[in-house]
Chains A and B, each alone.
Chain A
Amino acid sequence: MTAMLEVKDLKVAYGKILAVKKISFSVDEGQVVTLIGTNGAGKTTTLRTISGLIRPSSGEILFQGKRIDTVPAHEIVIMGVAHCPEGRRIFPKMTVEENLFLGAFTRGDAGVKKDLEAAYDLFPVLGERRNQQAGTFSGGEQQMLAMGRAMMSRPKLLMLDEPSMGLSPLMMKKIMQTVRTLQSQGTTILLVEQNAQAALSLADHGYVLEVGKIVIKGTGKDLLVNDDVRKAYLGED
């Protein structure tokens, strides 16, 4: 079986500065895979390159066996990759419902209305406030909206960039539970996190990035008990 997403020897540069230095990893269907690491490790750059917002300087990205590193961003969405960006990036001047409809922009089928209800089931607070301007929401509510919006394209692969950033512990728990729920519904997930503990306890596989390189990899469980990971990312001596 081929992996759903395969990243091979990926290099990404901003001008002369290499942000991602030849990394390789893969995500199998149905898995949750996490990339962890500190600020500036190249996690966000990696996701933005997969979704076509930036172009790699070398290397390959394959989605379901097809190369996507030269495909325009909007077509990558049509192929089945949804990217829930860092900082949530909801459309602040639009209502919740308008945001969700934009998530289904690539679809013309009749299932959109049903999926809208599914998003409201997943996050009841969105349903209660569907006509409210999204910019007035709290960080946690915006995160739910961003995730609901990403799911509206019916993705095969969902990429989440730091969904727990700036959230209260309670809200973070809720978001992480949702990641579990989405996985159990059959969505493959690539999760980028600074909160290593939370991410690794969910993940089938994890990769630790340090200044653009993968320095440790393993199953989620193994990394949780790995001494180097515990020292560097889980705040233990």
Chain B
Amino acid sequence: MDIFVQQLVNGLTLGSLYALIAVGYTVVYGILQLINFAHGEVFMIGAFGALTTSLVLFRGQTSLWILPFMIIGAVIASVVTAVLMERFAYRPLRNAPRLAPLITAIGISVFLQEIVRLNYDHVPFTSWNPFDLPDAKSLIPFPQIDVVTGPAFQVGGVTIQRAAIFTIGALLMCSAVLWYFINRTKMGRGMQAVSQDPDTARLMGINVDRVIVVAFMLGAILAGIAGVAQGLQNNNIDFRMGFLAGLKAFTAAVLGGIGNVAGAVVGGLVLGIVEAMATQYIPGQFGGSPWKDVWAFVMLILVLVFRPEGLLGAKAVDRA
């Protein structure tokens, strides 16, 4: 029983991380019908934003009050990346065939990874390193924070990492704020309108370009927070971390029904729990953690075959 609860906790932690990233895929898809495959990199840059804030402004300190600044740093880095990406890569392709922005997304993804890998520790085209930042070609230790990292809690026979509580808490808070924004604010209603019928939304006086930017920003805020959560959980980050996390989050978004925000959260949690349970309970050759990614993508294929609209149902892609 303890093992089951332990895996449930592990799954929820992992799933919360997927959910935070998955929202970014689903919000943008809901409005543009674009799968932003570079969103995993927005998450990665969020983690680096937090790291940079800590290294540059608070060298070596571990006090709890630094955490909010790291989160702000992460969110700023993610949002700036996402907004620039939208403005200079996707907007010029707004009326292009769908394949063009998809390929562009893959290009941006590689571009952002390489920028971080090659230039994190110095100003581009020079060897000047004004802030004494570490080389990003290998794993970089993520700053430790009092209270949030440190010894795990033991509840009965179940171990709960402090970073896990941070991650699950972040998902709960972000979901609540996001729900309020989408359903209770004017901009949120405008987003819903654009997602249901963009032309008619324009006739209501809604600036569709602005709504699209807001959608990218929302996704980036959550991805930035996820970047911090990932750093705190794994104790280190690297320039490749966005790739697999992005794919998993995309799987979560499809699982819940892409375009459906609640679906992204549910899909993330389900995916996390399935991975954790598969690791624990599938016996023999196909069990254990080396196979967990396989089971995650097997589930994606099964959903695509048997329930392509996702668990909670997506918005219809071809609207009347």
Binding site for B on A (CB under 8 A): 51-53, 72-75, 77-78, 82-83, 85, 89, 91-94, 98, 101-103, 105-106, 149, 153
Contacts and interface: CB of A to CB of B under 8 A. Distances in A.
A74 B196 contact: no
Contacts of B199: 53, 85, 89
Contact of A53 (B202, B204, B205): B202
Interface of B: 186, 189-190, 192-193, 196-197, 199-208
Contact of A52 (B193, B202, B206): B202
Given A82-B203, A83-B203, A105-B204, 4 more contacts: A53-B203, A74-B206, A102-B190, A105-B206
B205 A106 contact: yes
Contacts, number: 60
20 contacts: A53-B199, A53-B202, A73-B202, A74-B202, A74-B205, A74-B207, A77-B203, A82-B203, A85-B199, A89-B200, A91-B196, A91-B197, A93-B196, A94-B193, A94-B196, A102-B206, A105-B189, A105-B193, A105-B204, A153-B205
A102 B211 CA distance: 14
Nearest to A73: B202
Contacts of A51: 203
Majority DSSP secondary structure for residues of B touching A: helix
A82 to B, nearest CB: 8
A101 B188 CA distance: 12
Contacts of B206: 74, 102, 105
A105 B186 contact: yes
A94 B190 CA distance: 12
B190 A105 contact: yes
Contacts of B207: 72, 74
A89 B202 contact: no
